[in-house]
Amino acid sequence: MSKIAGVIPARWASTRLPGKSLVNLCGRPMICHVVERVKQAKLLDYVVVATDDQRIIDAIDVEGVECVMTAVDHPSGTDRVAEAVSKLDDVDIIINIQGDEPLINPQLIDLLAEKMVADSSWDMATAVTPIKSEEELNNPSVVKAVFAENAKALYFSRAPIPFNRDDVEFARLDAWRHLGIYAYTKDFLETLVKTSPCMLEKTEKLEQLRALHIGCNMLVVQTEDDGVGVDTPEDVAAVENLMKQGK
C-alpha cells in the first residue's frame, strides 16, 4: 500500500504579509486552521508542517502533526516540501497543501491521493475550478489551466487561455482557474527540485511549468472548490467572514 504524506509548507518571510502563518483568524493562528482541515483528510498517513521558524512550530495546537524545520533560503514551497519528506523513508506520494488556505477542502486532498494511488502512470496531480467571470479570466493573478480530454495538463498561464479569438460570449467558454495544490510521486518530486527553472517558468513565474517542461505526466482534477487563500490583510477579513458562515 502506498504511504501518503500531506505536507504544509509555512515560511515566516511572506513578501506581502510577513508572519502570515500566525495571523489571527477567529482567535487562532491561521496555520492551526490549515492543519486542522488537512487532518480531516482520510487517506493521509502523515501530516507534516515544513517551516523555517520555531514560532510557527510553537503555535500549532493540533495533535498528531509532525513538524520539520527546514532551510530558510528555499526558493519555493516545493523545495521546502521536498526537504521535509526526504526525512520520511517510507512515503510514496506527497500532497503539497498551501499554508495560506485555511478553508482547504479535505475531500479534495483525498481525491488527489485517490487518483495518484489508482494510476501509477501520473507523476503529479493538481486541481482546477471553473472561472466564473471575465474579470477573473483577464486577471494575471489568476492562473489559468488547459488540459486534454484525458485530463492531462497541457499548459498554465497568467494570460487568458484559451484565447477567445472570435469573441465568443463568456458563458460559452470553457475556462479553468488553477488551484495551488499538488500531489507528486516522491521520485518525481526529487527530480523536480533538482531541475533548474526553465524559460517558461521564469517568464510566467509559475513553477508547474518546469514540471511540464521536463515531460511530467500531470493529471488535472476538476472541483467546485474556490481555493480561497490569505495573501493580504484584506484577505484576512474576507476569510474570517467565510469561516463564521461555516465554510
Residue 227 pLDDT level (bands cut at 50, 70, 90): confident
Residue 73 lies in a domain: yes
d(CA 158, CA 142): 6
Residue 145 lies in a domain: yes
Q: Which of 176-180, 217-221, 224-228 has the lowest average pLDDT? A: 224-228
d(CA 181, CA 140): 19
DSSP state of 6: E
Residue 244 lies in a domain: no
| Residues 212 and 155 sit within 8 Å (Cβ to Cβ) | yes
The answer on pLDDT for 169 being more than 90 is: no
Residue 74 lies in a domain: yes
Q: Can you give the three-state secondary structure of 27-46, one letter per residue?
A: CEEHHHHHHHHHHCCCCCCE
Which has the higher per-residue pLDDT, 96 or 168?
A: 96
**Amino acid of residue 194:** K
Give the bridge partners for 10, in sequence order. 51
d(CA 178, CA 182): 11
Residue 161 lies in a domain: yes
Compute how many other C-beta atoms are within 10 angstroms of the C-beta atom of residue 71: 9
Q: What is the DSSP string of 175-231?
A: -EEEEEEEEEEHHHHHHHHHSPPPHHHHHHT-THHHHHHTT--EEEEE---------
Burial class of residue 151 (count of CB atoms within 10 Å of its CB; 0-12, 13-18, 19+) = middle
Closest by Cα among 152, 143, 48 to 93: 48
d(CA 154, CA 218): 9
Residue-wise pLDDT tens digits, 130-164: 999 999 999 999 999 999 999 999 999 999 998 88
The mean predicted confidence, pLDDT, of the chain is 92
Residue-wise pLDDT tens digits, 111-133: 999 999 999 999 999 999 999 99
Query: Each residue of 31-67: b (16+ CB within 10 Å) or e?
Result: bbbbbbbbeebebbbbbbbbbbbeebeebbebeebeb
Residue 211 is part of a domain; what is its CATH number? 3.90.550.10
Question: Based on the structure, what is the number of domains in the chain?
Answer: 1
Q: What percent of the chain has pLDDT over 90?
A: 72
Residue-wise pLDDT tens digits, 18-32: 788 999 999 999 999
Range of the domain at 230: 4-239
Residue 246 lies in a domain: no
Residue 43 lies in a domain: yes
- Which strand (E) or helix (H) includes residue 239? helix 233-244
- Do the bridges between strand 46-51 and strand 66-69 make them parallel or antiparallel, or are there none, so unpaired? parallel
Residue 245 lies in a domain: no
Compute how many other C-beta atoms are within 10 angstroms of the C-beta atom of residue 194: 8
